[in-house]
Amino acid sequence: MVILVLFILVLYWYTNTETFQDLDPAFVNKYNTFVAFYNPFLTNWEKAVMTSMSMEITQQPLTSPSQIGSATATSPTFSRSKMNQYIQELSQTRKESLPPLTDPLPHSIDPTMIPQLVQTIPQDPAPYQHALNWMNEQLAKSHQNLDGALQGKSAEGFADNCAEVSQCMSNPEVVRQITEQQQAQQAQQLQTQQQTISLHVDQFNQNQSLQRAISQNNELVQESKNIQNQAQSGELLNKMNLPEDPIASYTIPKGGNRLKQMKEEDPEKYNEYQKNNSGLFALKQWMEQINRSL
């Protein structure tokens, strides 16, 4: 028994002190290109899903004065499981596949990470194309609505190949041969796994339609950030160009002055929303200013 343990330790030492096979530089370049798409996509996708879920939450009106200040002022938060459930429902509604939210991929890799990446990296770019199309539609629509408002419109296991363990231990050549065989198998496995991942990421990196959608999404996201900055600074009000001709009297739509009512009726909740949802809060505040101006 002791001899068997020593034999295993020797093999372990040989295997772990030899230099591991390096990754193929071409593979690393492909992986880096994919990560440059995938991780930013996850960030934008999560924001889009969270925003869509938030917009569907209906604020219940107060039914009595005693409720003012008694409600807990909390902002909507969603777990990843809830957001992935929402993605599944959205996928069914749109009748097209959409990708789940996952952890981002590591920016740097080594050979020990390859087996896990084979299982992690997606193989089909179609759900990501669908998600980008949906995000771009929503962003473009919101930008168009804003323009209208401004115009006043609405590893392998150990195998004992020796007959006698004691003979193996006394023959370094046998140990060397076994070690070399294991290393060759590991190198072959690593090469195969790299080829598999390369095929997967090529489906994304070489997909021209997907790349165009990515480019458009980046532009729309940047435009949204610019609009948010303008709304917070008040610059957006200077861009309003309402028609001079007399128009029908304007009635503030239902919920169009919700922030003003909340500030008067529930200041604690108003301050909590302003603190935790500054971006959406500023945009909503700006829209109410427009409603009051009209």
Please write the tens of the pLDDT for every residue from 219-264.
988 888 888 888 777 777 777 766 665 555 556 566 656 767 777 7
CA–CA gap between residue 287 and residue 181 (Å, rounded): 70
Domain count, the chain: 2
Statement to judge: residues 201 and 264 lie in one domain: no
Statement to judge: residues 186 and 276 lie in one domain: no
Please report the pLDDT score of residue 4 as a whole number: 42
Statement to judge: residues 207 and 119 lie in one domain: yes
Residue 64 included in any domain? no
Residue 62 included in any domain? no
Residue 145 included in any domain? yes
Statement to judge: residues 175 and 123 lie in one domain: yes
Please report the pLDDT score of residue 225 as a whole number: 85
Closest CA to 216 of 145, 143, 279: 143
Statement to judge: residues 234 and 261 lie in one domain: no
Residues (pLDDT < 70) of the chain are: 1-21, 58-76, 147-179, 182, 241-257, 259, 273, 276-294
**Is residue 52 a contact partner of residue 45, using CB atoms and an 8 Å limit?**
no
Closest CA to 223 of 143, 150, 144, 155: 143
Q: At a CB cut-off of 8 Å and minimum separation 6, what does 75 contact?
A: 272, 273, 276, 277
Residue 190 included in any domain? yes
Please report the pLDDT score of residue 139 as a whole number: 86
- Statement: the pTM of the whole predicted model exceeds 0.85: no
Statement to judge: residues 231 and 260 lie in one domain: no
Statement to judge: residues 193 and 266 lie in one domain: no
Expressed as residue numbers, the domain containing 262 is: 248-294
Please report the pLDDT score of residue 116 as a whole number: 92
Residue 222 included in any domain? yes
Residue 67 included in any domain? no
Please report the pLDDT score of residue 69 as a whole number: 41
Please name the residue ranges forming H helices in 104-257. 114-120, 126-150, 165-169, 172-205, 208-233
Statement to judge: residues 121 and 229 lie in one domain: yes
